[in-house]
Amino acid sequence: MSVSSKKDKQLAVSNAVLDIIEREGLNGITHSKVSRKAAVSRPWIYEYIGKEKNDLIDFAANELGAYFSRVNLTELPQNISDLEKQLKDGTDFLIETTHLNPTVIKLFYRYRGTSNSLGQIIEKYESKWLKTASKTLCEIFNLAPRDAILIVEFILTVRLGYAHRIVTSFDPKDSEQQAKKTFEAIHNLLSGFLES
């Protein structure tokens, strides 16, 4: 299979790099392996991604970061209903993409807290989400910063925990259903807390 557009090639390279890292670790990355797996020529990869192994790893790290940035709150909610919708949408997105691309969650847990490119990108995007989400709760619902950070830490931890559970489960569909029920209950509790 050959891919043609630049965006398609970038996606193919990114998926290939992440897949190789997941299977073989960072030391398994070579331009030849990525080229074969992505069906993209090495000269194209050299020109648009880079000639060094670290260029491939950094590229994959940024793609991983872009994944996590999609889980961000995109607009400030104006009320409880807006917040509930954003929380539900973020949870649904995480569950859906975990099902479609389990490698991302596996890499998140393997490299979170490490000093390499993947670990640094994970830290950057996780911190950004926590800061944005807690600031939102403070501004919209007049929460104390301490309470807001506790709430968003809890939400992020449970979301990622369920994502990991889905990709490691014998029955991923059952884990997805359980995650949805759990988050519905959490969102209802959170709404009650913020309304009081």
Q: How far apart are CA 95 and CA 91, in angstroms?
A: 6
Q: Has residue 185 got a pLDDT over 80?
A: yes
What is the per-residue pLDDT for 71? 53
pLDDT digits (tens, 9 = 90+) for 109-155: 899 999 988 888 888 888 888 888 888 888 888 889 999 999 889 88
pLDDT category at 41 given cuts 50, 70, 90 is very high
CA 111 to chain CA centroid, Å, is 13
The answer, yes or no, to whether residue 28 has pLDDT greater than 90, is: yes
State the Cα–Cα distance between residues 153 and 22, nearest whole angstrom. 26
